[in-house]
């Protein structure tokens, strides 16, 4: 079902991704998310592939390799082999030196069990080493053929520029910066971050684009549903205050969704990937195959300029 989906190209690479990918933090066998049965994870990946998704985002930090391994298992269960899809993963830098990037790459490849790393990202700015040294080691991995492209995650505008500058010295692009961005998390529109990314040719990968379920409307219709989610989500992302603050926006999303015959979450994702054209791509997660279908519909509908602007206006006041 990917024939009508326009792909987004990572700068100066042959990597082209669908505007919606699948984030698989929830494949980490528990922790922040409830553990998923292997059968369910396999079904989520199979549905993603059937619906046209061509890339998957995981990380070392997601269960110390469990998410990577479960992703690999699910891809194989769907008959996929290396090169059929695009895999992004991340090095965890917290309290580590840059040399760990080289020392741990074989662990990443071991857990991915036969799948190459198309995009390797620095997970956050928590390394003991400088950005210069981190990028030097990422360059080494590219030159060794261990990874195909370099990205960062949770880097500020200044940090992103520095990483880009260091890679450019070796004629290697910084292709992405993965950050938390959504209809109700709009600071990056206002602080020059998106403008800098566009200037440098860096794609913005939006994680938690549905604010961990807040932008599905589920909790607005039934506040008691908060009892069914974990403590961290309940008291960080889906607070009672945030549910009340976003009521008007959710009503607008629902009204627009009814016009297009899709769910609230679909409209929230469609705005994200359409409003800034191909600058922003998104990696919503899913704990059920049917959630994947709602997410991927965002790539097949087209919001009008009036709808995009209305959502922009409504979300600015949240």
Return the axis-axis angle of helices 105-112 and 66-77, rounded to nearest 10°.
30
Q: What is d(CA 104, CA 191) in angstroms, rounded to the nearest whole number? A: 35
Q: Which residues contact 26 (CB under 8 A, 6 or more apart)?
A: 33, 36, 67, 285, 286, 287
62, 120, 181, 207: the active-site residue: 62
The question of whether 231 is a catalytic residue gets the answer: no
The answer to whether 48 touches 296, Cβ cutoff 8 Å, is yes
From 178, 72, 159, select the one nearest 119 (Cα to Cα).
Answer: 178
Distance CA 128, CA 105 (A): 18
- Number of neighbouring beta carbons within 10 Å of residue 124: 18
Catalytic site residues?
A: 62
């Amino acid at each position: 079902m990917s024939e009508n989906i326009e792909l987004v190209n990572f700068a100066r690479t042959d990597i082209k991704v669908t505007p919606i990918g699948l984030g698989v933090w929830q494949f980490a066998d528990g922790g922040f998310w409830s553990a998923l049965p292997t059968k369910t994870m396999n079904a989520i990946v199979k549905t993603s592939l059937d619906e046209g998704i061509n890339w998957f985002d995981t990380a070392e930090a997601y269960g110390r390799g469990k998410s990577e391994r479960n992703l690999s298992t699910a891809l194989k269960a769907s008959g996929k082999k290396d090169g059929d899809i695009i895999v992004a993963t991340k090095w965890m830098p917290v309290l580590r030196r840059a040399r760990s990037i080289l020392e741990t790459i074989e662990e990443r490849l071991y857990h991915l069990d036969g799948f190459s790393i198309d995009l390797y990202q620095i997970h956050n700015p928590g390394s003991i080493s400088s950005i210069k040294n981190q990028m030097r080691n990422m360059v080494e991995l590219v030159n060794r053929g261990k990874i195909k492209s370099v990205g960062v995650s949770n880097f500020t505008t200044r940090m992103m520029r520095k990483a880009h500058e260091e890679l450019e010295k070796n004629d290697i692009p910084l292709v992405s910066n993965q950050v938390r961005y959504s209809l109700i998390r709009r600071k990056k529109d206002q602080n020059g971050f998106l403008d800098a990314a566009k200037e440098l040719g860096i794609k913005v990968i939006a994680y938690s684009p549905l604010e961990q379920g807040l932008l599905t409307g589920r909790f607005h219709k039934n506040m008691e549903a908060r009892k069914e989610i974990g403590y961290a989500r309940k008291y960080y992302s889906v607070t009672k205050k945030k549910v009340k603050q976003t009521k008007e926006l959710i009503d607008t999303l629902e009204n627009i969704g009814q016009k297009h015959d899709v769910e609230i979450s679909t409209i929230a994702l469609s705005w994200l990937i359409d409003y800034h054209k191909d600058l922003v791509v998104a990696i919503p997660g899913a704990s059920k195959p049917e959630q994947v279908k709602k997410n991927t519909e965002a790539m097949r509908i087209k919001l009008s300029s009036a709808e995009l602007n209305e959502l922009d206006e409504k979300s600015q006041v949240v």
